Amino acid sequence: MLLSQINASPIELKGIGKCFVEALKKIEIETVGQLLLFFPRDFEDRSKFDCLSDIKNKDKLIVQASVIAHSWFGFGIKRTLKILIEDALGNKATLICFNRSFLQKLYPVGSEIIVIGSFYKYRNKLTSSAFNIEKKEEFLSGIVPIYKSIEGINQKKIISCIKSALDQYMEDITS
């Protein structure tokens, strides 16, 4: 069977709900075959971790760290969360969480996390406001596909959905 002949709805895949299917429809994906033809726009090498001190050599770091403190700056609705992290070598950095105050509950002090982001020096301290953060146990390592953004769906869900489709239909696909 060719990919274009797989006309089953994505709702039939394990772990896929109505909201996900509706989001796929917005980008004109209505069948499992079309989903399997939704190719990654890029790949990210997550096989090795960096240290915060590697900032001199790289634009983007993948750092395994611990959350050591939370603090806030600003007032009222302009109040912004800062998360202080520390890597295995004792290097520290601050994550500036604009409009992401919910991260305080998701990553309490003591959490083991992975941060993927761009860091810079600000007032002689390492800082990032452009980052993604994940719990260590939920981190996808290796060579990871990066898909075009779909409103309301994160990368992990897209990867999971496509993996589910491949698991279910791989044996039936011919070239």
Q: What angle do CA 136, 139, 142 make, to 5 degrees?
A: 130
CA gap 144, 155 in Å, rounded = 10
CA gap 130, 121 in Å, rounded = 13
The answer to whether residue 91 scores a pLDDT higher than 80 is yes
**pLDDT for 146:** 92
Q: What is the CA radius of gyration of the chain?
A: 19
User: Model pTM?
Assistant: 0.77
**pLDDT for 2:** 66
**pLDDT for 114:** 96
CA gap 148, 112 in Å, rounded = 28
